[in-house]
């Protein structure tokens, strides 16, 4: 029973942090575009964001990850276990994979933008966070992340790393 209570308290804290991030983002959007940038994609975990271009995933931004490559060839066997690569080759809109690093999980969202661009958003998190999968699978979380991506694209902030004017 105590374990279940601890897990529920942990989930409540994660949800509270997520809602506070959402509220802060809304106020930044309202106050000034200069305060809004790609770091607003860090909602409940570290993240990385890629764009699918032909057979490559090109990193647009990341925060809190240490080993995320800038370019991933979706046909390179080295990356075949990555959730983002599994997602591209499959038919789901979300995929999970354990990381190369012990205790790490990556969950990936498929995001189609009205412009025709395809983005892959990755949550990078500690595998011991029970309930994180439930939070990630919430349709509201998906809509929130997609909404931020839509706004970032409208403002011209979704450009490939290494190009000028990347907002961090």
Look at residue 13 and tell me if it is in a domain. Answer: yes
Q: So what's the pLDDT on residue 112? A: 96
Question: What is the span of the domain harbouring residue 101?
Answer: 2-154
Look at residue 65 and tell me if it is in a domain. Answer: yes
pLDDT at residue 32 tops 70: no
C-alpha–C-alpha distance, residues 118 and 49, integer Å: 11
Q: So what's the pLDDT on residue 31? A: 57
Look at residue 93 and tell me if it is in a domain. Answer: yes
For residue 101, count other CB atoms closer than 10 A to its CB. Answer: 12
Domain count, the chain: 1
Q: What is the pTM of this model?
A: 0.79
More confident residue, 85 or 30: 85
Look at residue 166 and tell me if it is in a domain. Answer: no
Look at residue 164 and tell me if it is in a domain. Answer: no
First to last CA, the chain: 43
**Mean pLDDT, range 82-93, rounded to an integer:** 94
What string of DSSP letters covers 96-159? EEE-SSTTEEEEEEEEE-TTS-EEEEEEEEETT-TTHHHHHT-HHHHHHHHHHHHHHHHTT---
Q: What is the CATH number of the domain that holds 67?
A: 3.30.450
Look at residue 130 and tell me if it is in a domain. Answer: yes
Look at residue 121 and tell me if it is in a domain. Answer: yes
Look at residue 159 and tell me if it is in a domain. Answer: no
Q: How confident is the model at residue 164 (pLDDT cuts 50, 70, 90)?
A: very low
């Amino acid at each position: 029973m105590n374990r279940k209570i601890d897990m529920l308290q942990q989930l409540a804290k994660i949800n509270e942090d997520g809602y506070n991030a959402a509220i802060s983002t809304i106020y930044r959007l309202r106050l000034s575009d200069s305060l809004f940038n790609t770091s607003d994609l860090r909602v409940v975990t570290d993240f990385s964001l890629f764009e699918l271009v032909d057979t490559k995933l090109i990193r647009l931004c990341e925060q809190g990850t240490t080993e995320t490559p800038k370019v991933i060839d979706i046909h390179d066997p080295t990356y075949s276990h990555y959730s983002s690569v599994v997602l591209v080759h499959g038919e789901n809109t979300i995929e999970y994979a354990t990381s190369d690093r012990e205790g790490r999980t990556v969950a990936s969202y498929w995001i189609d933008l009205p412009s025709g661009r395809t983005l892959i958003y990755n949550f990078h998190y500690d595998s011991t966070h029970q309930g994180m999968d439930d939070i990630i699978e919430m349709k509201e979380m998906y809509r929130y992340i997609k909404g931020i991506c839509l706004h970032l694209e409208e403002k011209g902030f979704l450009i490939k790393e290494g190009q000028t004017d990347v907002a961090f």
